[in-house]
Chain A
Amino acid sequence: AAGVIQSPRHLIKEKRETATLKCYPIPRHDTVYWYQQGPGQDPQFLISFYEKMQSDKGSIPDRFSAQQFSDYHSELNMSSLELGDSALYFCASSSGDRGSTDTQYFGPGTRLTVL
């Protein structure tokens, strides 16, 4: 079965540069979530989109922004990168009854290293 696709899988940037991470959800999934995971930590929710509209916001820095496009793929844009932004970034997707908690399926992640 098709899974969540993320690109790139690895990214190395310098401080103060910008980065764009892409996520392609499972076909027919309408909701996309972004998470950040530091070493030895659990995934921390950043932001989510449902039907191309932002649905929830977590601990996402103001330097980051994201959007979901008409084909449901999503991009996380990160500017003025800091050393502390080095982490694994996961995208998850879901589809379901809006009245229930959707089951989220995670992508393989993008490892961002800021030098």
Chain B
Amino acid sequence: GQQLNQSPQSMFIQEGEDVSMNCTSSSIFNTWLWYKQEPGEGPVLLIALYKAGELTSNGRLTAQFGITRKDSFLNISASIPSDVGIYFCAGGYGNKLVFGAGTILRVKS
């Protein structure tokens, strides 16, 4: 079945730094979604991408749907302490989502 490779697995950065994470797959997806999850809570949708090549921003977050439809990246600019959490990419095909393994983000203030 479809699998996503999400990297990096974890990041420990200084407050104010920019962050970049990505997901790649050998399969094509119709949708790329990025979620953030905090401990014991449900994933919260950050950005949804629906078209190959689409670049979308949400505040300090920017994500792109790769032109080959097999990858996506998420950038966070000027990180702040409340950015800590686990970030998941999810590729959509049909009515299903496949999740990456997550990127754990820690911010040092």
Contacts and interface: CB of A to CB of B under 8 A. Distances in A.
Partners in one complex: yes
Given A106-B42, A106-B44, A42 B101 contact: yes
Interface in B8-67: 29-31, 33, 35, 40-45, 48, 50
A56 interface: yes
Contacts of B48: 103
Contact of A104 (B33, B41, B50, B94): B33
Interface residues of B, number: 25
A71 to B, nearest CB: 21
Contacts of A43: 43, 88, 99
B92 interface: yes
Interface string A93-113: 000001011111111110100
A48 interface: yes
Contacts of B50: 100
A42 B100 contact: yes
Contacts of B90: 104
A101 B100 contact: no
Interface residues of A, number: 27
Contacts, number: 62
A107 B44 CA distance: 9
Interface in B83-109: 88, 90, 92-97, 99-102
Nearest to B6: A42
A101 B30 contact: yes
Interface in A63-115: 88, 90, 98, 100-109, 111
8 contacts: A55-B95, A98-B95, A101-B92, A101-B95, A103-B33, A104-B97, A107-B42, A108-B41
Interface of A: 4, 6, 31, 33, 41-43, 45, 48, 50, 55-56, 58, 88, 90, 98, 100-109, 111
